[in-house]
Copies of this chain bind each other. A is one copy, B any other.
Amino acid sequence: MSDASLWTALADPHRRAIVALLLERPRPVGEIGEACGLSQPSTSKHLRVLRDAGLVRVRQDAQRRVYALDPAPIAALDAWLAPYRELWNRSLDRLGQRLDETSYDTDTEEPTPKG
């Protein structure tokens, strides 16, 4: 499932570094490894994981293999995040109400005593 592998793929800091690197522009394996301080096999293995998760695509350019980000899984992550973002907005609203203190008409509930 690309859903499970997506999270495990991004759980690794090296892999997140690779993804951040590919955000700027597509790059061949050697460049990625050098930029992230990874050995060549390690780079290839991480790219393999990212590829299995659907996060990157490969384009063959002579001997080199140029990796590029695939935006689709990012959208999936965004979709996962959406409900929580609403929670965050609620908390921001609540904070705003606290700071505002004017209370437009927030008699809905939630006294939130003391804190």
Across-interface contacts of A87 in B (CB, < 8 A): 23, 69, 71, 74
On whether the beta carbons of A91 and B78 are closer than 8 Å, the reply is no
Q: In the complex, which residues of chain B have a beta carbon less than 8 angstroms from the beta carbon of A10?
A: 7, 11
Q: How many copies does the complex hold?
A: 2
Q: Quick check: is A99 within 8 A (CB to CB) of the other chain?
A: no
A interface: dominant SS: helix
22 A-B residue pairs with Cβ-Cβ distance under 8 Å, sorted by A, are A4-B13, A8-B11, A10-B11, A19-B84, A23-B83, A23-B84, A69-B84, A71-B84, A71-B87, A71-B88, A71-B90, A71-B91, A74-B81, A74-B84, A74-B85, A74-B88, A75-B88, A77-B81, A78-B81, A78-B85, A78-B88, A81-B81
